[in-house]
Structures are given as structure tokens and as C-alpha cells.
Chains A and B, each alone.
Chain A
Amino acid sequence: MEGHSVYVPKSGFTKWLEARLPIISLTHSSAVAYPVPRNLNYFWTFGAILTMMLVVQIVTGVVLAMHYVPNAKLAFASVEAIMRDVNFGWLLRYMHANGASMFFIAVYIHIFRGMYYGSYKAPREVLWILGVIIFLLMMATAFMGYVLPWGQMSFWGATVITNLFSAFDEIIPGVGTWIVTLLWGGFAVDNPTLNRFFALHYLLPFMLAGVVGLHIWALHHVGQNNPTGVEVKNICKDTVPFTPYATVKDAVGVVFFLILFAWFLFYIPNFMGHADNYIEANPSVTPAHIVPEWYFLPFYAILRAIPSKLGGVLAMFSAVLILAFLPWLDTSKVRSGNYRPVFRVFFWLFVAACVVLGWLGAKPAEGGYTLAAQILTVFYFSYFLIILPLLGLFETPRQLPGSIAEAVLAKKAKRAAPADASVNG
């Protein structure tokens, strides 16, 4: 997108550098002059929060890898050595463990924000699909990272999740077993599994960072969506330069998010974890309830809702992959949920269904819980496959503002009318 200003090198050195590697002008056009819709709310700061969390995870992870030992006999003890003996080791490990949860909290808010404001619609389909790929990579990274402490949940989580692939035996006999053995590097989850999960857990975040680069590139090419869903028409009137307006607003979001992070990290660092993972892995005893980390629970509930092994596995993978098709499943011409009264109701029902599915994922798979999970699974898929396609055809949207500038002025007038309130961004 065309920016608010153009960088012109002035000194001899910057002119010399600009002719060889235009890195300053690239930084200027993407982080200073880049036009940002002036009506973004704080939900739009989650992109910056997620970038920060990725950096936190990579930095703490690299540092932890200096002390961690990826060996089935030593892994658990090495984590305890980090917690007890390494200088600030407890801080670094709790940062990394709680950081993963914070990362997922932020990514879920980011995804739901995109779904509510229709940020996946043309021309942002590729941007959205890159986001789905990031989400998948995050899930793979988090899963393998959870295996590394080699506690009971690590071991049994790894066993259960890798065994999912054996379901493919029902399609072509032998293929599923072959994949599972390939993942394990043995005939059960054991040292080779731990070792390769460590290698991949170290590798994937850098691939993730690469896809994040593409995600931001795509974003800067098409420009940000905004709460009205109306495209930018006039850069001068509808947008502000990224710096200082968006940078300082992102900084506010980041700092407030850090307070939440610090609360968990320093005061309830094991709230998001499982007690069983403080017991060293034991292949002869399975914990009473095998439960994945909270961020996988909705998908885990969908897996268990389907009574067939293959069906459950396919439903779980589909539940994630269906997101990639969202740009074409939503047929409405209007982007923002603010102007779609019926959509809004279904959207919040969908959010609620995800939360309840998450809660059901942590409950034993029996009786009423399973029935509830089945009903909500049906609703989950209907939302994408029936509700959104039909809603676009039948719903009467509210009148859209003519432009972002118009919406901003209308909001301001409305706010000024009852009382002389101070101007707010």
C-alpha cells in the first residue's frame, strides 16, 4: 500500500547503503509510513502481542536448550536442575511454559477477531490461510514442546496423539502403523521419540517465524481490515501513519498483556499445567485422566465426540483445516459483524460452543459429557458449512458507513452529544 511519506536518504552513508541494500526505506515504508485505518480498536494490537510472544518463546527456548538434556533418562532431572540450580532457571522455564499458554490466548483472540470482522474476505484470503498455517505450526510446536519435560502427561500425551495416526490403518491397512513407527523411531514412545521431538521443537519456531514474515508481508500488501469492514478509500482521511499512532497503541496492548503474563508467571505458574507432569514418565502406569494442554481441549473434545477412531481423527483435523476454507464459506458481501445482526448472534454462539467444547475436553468421556460434545461438534461444523453460507444469502445487513472517516466522525459526534467528553483515539 502507498504510504504516508517516502524515505529520502540524506547523509552520504545512508545514500550509499540505500543504493546497495534499501533496508532503511523498507523499514520506513513498513513500520513508519505504512497507513493504518484510524478506527482500529485494541483487538488489532494482538498482532503485535503475538509477535512479541513469538520472540519471548524463541529467546527463552534457546536459553533453556543450553541446560536441557533431550535424553529419556536425563530429561526430567535436567528440567529439575533448571528449576533448582540454574541462575534464574525457574524464571526462564516458567516464562517458556506459561508463554506457550499466553501465545495461545493471544492467537485465539486474534483468530476470533478476524472471524468477527470478516478479515478473511477478499482480498485477504492468502493472509488468512497463512494465519491458519501459523496456527497449525504453533500446535505442532506446542505439542512437541510439552513432551520434552518427560513427565507422565508428556509421555502419555505423546503416546495418545501419535497413536492418532494409526487410524489411517482403516483406510489403507499398514499405513497408519507405518507412520506411527516412523514418528516413534521405535516400537513405543521412547528415547528416539524424545530426541527427534526436541530437534523439531527447536526447528519449527523458526519456520513459524518465516511464515509470520509472509503473513505480515501479505498484510502490508492488502492493508488492514478495520471494525467497519469498509476498505480504505482515501489514505489521508481514512488512515494514520503506523508510527507513532499504531506503534504506541500496540505498545499499550503489549504492556497490558505483559501484566496478565506476569500474573501467571510469578504467582500461579502451574495453573495452566498438569500435576501429573511433575511425575517422571512411567510407561507402565497411565494417569487417571489423560488431558492435553488447555489450548487443545476443544479439538480433543471433537476427537472424542465421534465414536469411530478414524472418524474422530478426521473430525479433529477437519475442525482446524476448515478454517482455511472460511473465505469461501462465508457468502456475505459485508465484512464486519458490526453490520450483520444475525451473524453476530451465531458468532457468539460459536465462541460459546468453543469454550464449552474446551471444558468438555477436560472432562471424562462418558454419558452426558459425550452427548454434549456431540451436539456441539455438529454445531461447530454447521457454523462453517450451513450457517455462514446461508446467512450471507438471507441476512439483511445494516447500512454501512460511506468511509472509515465518516464512521469516525459519526462516532465522535455521538460521543460529543450527551456530554463534552474528551477526545479519545
Chain B
Amino acid sequence: MAETVPSAEPTRRDFLLIATGAVGAVGAAAVAWPFIAQMQPDAATIAAGAPVEVDLTPVAEGQILKLFWRGKLIFVRHRTKAEIESAAKVDVASLRDPQPDSARVKEGHAQWLVVYGNCTHLGCVPLGHQGAYEGWFCPCHGSVFDTSGRIRQGPAPTNLPIPPYTFVSDSKITIG
């Protein structure tokens, strides 16, 4: 059927209509923001990340202690002499994520390695004392970490990260 009522599409772009559309679009974008922001961690989650104290005395040589901070798994490994040596003598330049062992522990506390307990590939928990380097072996996709938590084989791109922590005394650390 023929159009007898002319379309109101203005021949010359009307400033008023453009302004209305633009302001409306700005409003829609502003309304969208709270709906996105609500997905971010809430105030309680952020506040709950208080530092935790860990007593190292019960962890015998060769043992790995597992604990949580901010909902993330952390390994505290009491390394044996042999493990420290094997980690120290590696040619750093040959590593995928080059880091000397000394940079991954606190000075004077080389027997204590504190690392996040999720594989840097896709987040699985690696198994301790396993794999070719006796460090960690991730069962999901076969990443192998050494006794310093550094990536040696497999798909993981980087070493196991180190959480912020300090030694309060020789047998006590504070994580966070």
C-alpha cells in the first residue's frame, strides 16, 4: 500500500532529535554500570583478606603445609638440603621464567619456600614431591615444577608465584 502519511524521518538531521538520542544513550550506559560493578568482589570479601600468621614449628623437613589466604591455596615447603642444592645449581638462563632460587626465598631462610598452590597454566593444584625434579607435578596438563616452584616442563608459562609474606621470627611467618 502506498505511503500517504509521510515518514517523519527528517531530511536534515534535526539537532533536537540527535541530542535526545545521545542523552538517552548516555543514560543507558550509566545505568549499565552498577549491573557490571556488582560482579566485582564486595566490601566484605575485600576486607576479609587480613594477614594470617603461620607457625612453622610443626612442619618437619621435607613436609609441605597447605593453607589458605584470601581464599587462595598456599604451599609452605620445608625443603631438605638436597632440595635446596638441586634448586640452586640450575643454570638460570636456561629456564622458561628465569629466576634464581635466592630470589624465591627470604634471605637466611632458604629452607622455607612459600608459593601459591595453583598451577600457572589453568589453576589446578600440583602434587608435591612428584615429577622429574621432585618439586611439583600438575596432574591436569603435565606441568612440572622444581623444588623452587619454577616451571621446568609442560604448558605452564611462569613459575608458581610467591605471596607477600615476612618472617616475624625464625619459626613464624605472616602472610599478607
Residue of B nearest to A90 (CB): B34
B105 CB → nearest A CB, Å: 37
**CB of B169 within 8 A of chain A?**
no
Evaluate contact between B5 and A92: CB separation under 8 angstroms: no
Q: List which A170-226 residues lie within 8 A (CB) of chain B.
A: none
Q: List which A216-240 residues lie within 8 A (CB) of chain B.
A: 235-236, 239-240
Evaluate contact between A91 and B43: CB separation under 8 angstroms: no
Contact among A81, A87, A240 for B38, CB-based, below 8 A: A87
**Sample of 21 A–B contacts (CB below 8 Å):** A4-B1, A5-B1, A5-B3, A59-B35, A66-B39, A67-B38, A67-B42, A81-B44, A84-B44, A85-B42, A85-B43, A86-B43, A88-B34, A88-B38, A89-B38, A89-B42, A92-B34, A236-B1, A236-B4, A244-B8, A251-B24
7 closest Cβ pairs, A-B complex: A88-B34, A236-B4, A85-B42, A85-B43, A85-B44, A87-B37, A86-B42
CB within 8 Å of A: which residues of B? 1, 3-5, 7-9, 24, 34-35, 37-40, 42-45
- A sample of 20 more A-B contacts (CB under 8 A), given A89-B42, A236-B4, is A4-B5, A5-B7, A63-B35, A66-B39, A84-B43, A84-B44, A85-B42, A85-B45, A86-B38, A86-B42, A86-B43, A87-B34, A87-B42, A88-B37, A92-B34, A235-B1, A236-B5, A244-B8, A244-B9, A245-B8
Grouping DSSP codes into helix (H, G, I), strand (E, B) and loop, the B interface class, with mixed when no group exceeds half, is loop
Q: Please indicate the chain A residues that have their CB under 8 angstroms from the CB of B9 in the complex.
A: 244
Query: How many residues of chain A get a CB closer than 8 Å to chain B's CBs?
Result: 24
**CB of A395 within 8 A of chain B?**
no
Q: Please indicate the chain B residues that have their CB under 8 angstroms from the CB of A240 in the complex.
A: 5
Evaluate contact between B1 and A2: CB separation under 8 angstroms: yes
Query: Which of B4, B38, B43 is the most central at the interface, judged by chain A CB atoms within 10 Å of its CB?
Result: B38
State the CA gap A36–B12 with chains docked (Å): 25
Evaluate contact between A63 and B38: CB separation under 8 angstroms: yes
State the CA gap A59–B32 with chains docked (Å): 10
Q: Please indicate the chain B residues that have their CB under 8 angstroms from the CB of A63 in the complex.
A: 35, 38
State the CA gap A66–B39 with chains docked (Å): 8
**CB of A241 within 8 A of chain B?**
yes
State the CA gap A4–B3 with chains docked (Å): 6
Residue of B nearest to A244 (CB): B8
Q: Please indicate the chain A residues that have their CB under 8 angstroms from the CB of B44 in the complex.
A: 81, 84-85
Q: Please indicate the chain A residues that have their CB under 8 angstroms from the CB of B37 in the complex.
A: 87-88
Evaluate contact between A241 and B5: CB separation under 8 angstroms: yes
B143 CB → nearest A CB, Å: 33
Residue of A nearest to B47 (CB): A85
State the CA gap A152–B27 with chains docked (Å): 37
B3 CB → nearest A CB, Å: 6
Q: Mark A52-95, 1 if CB is under 8 A from B, else 0.
A: 00000001000100110000000000000100111111011000
State the CA gap A103–B45 with chains docked (Å): 34
A160 CB → nearest B CB, Å: 33
Evaluate contact between B42 and A81: CB separation under 8 angstroms: yes
Would A91 and B1 be within 8 Å (CB), given that A86-B42, A241-B7 are in contact? no
Residue of B nearest to A84 (CB): B43
State the CA gap A244–B6 with chains docked (Å): 11
State the CA gap A66–B7 with chains docked (Å): 45
Would A66 and B38 be within 8 Å (CB), given that A4-B3, A84-B43 are in contact? yes
State the CA gap A358–B24 with chains docked (Å): 37
B165 CB → nearest A CB, Å: 27
Would A91 and B3 be within 8 Å (CB), given that A85-B42, A244-B8, A245-B8 are in contact? no
State the CA gap A131–B37 with chains docked (Å): 36
State the CA gap A370–B9 with chains docked (Å): 59
A329 CB → nearest B CB, Å: 38
Residue of B nearest to A81 (CB): B44
State the CA gap A2–B45 with chains docked (Å): 57
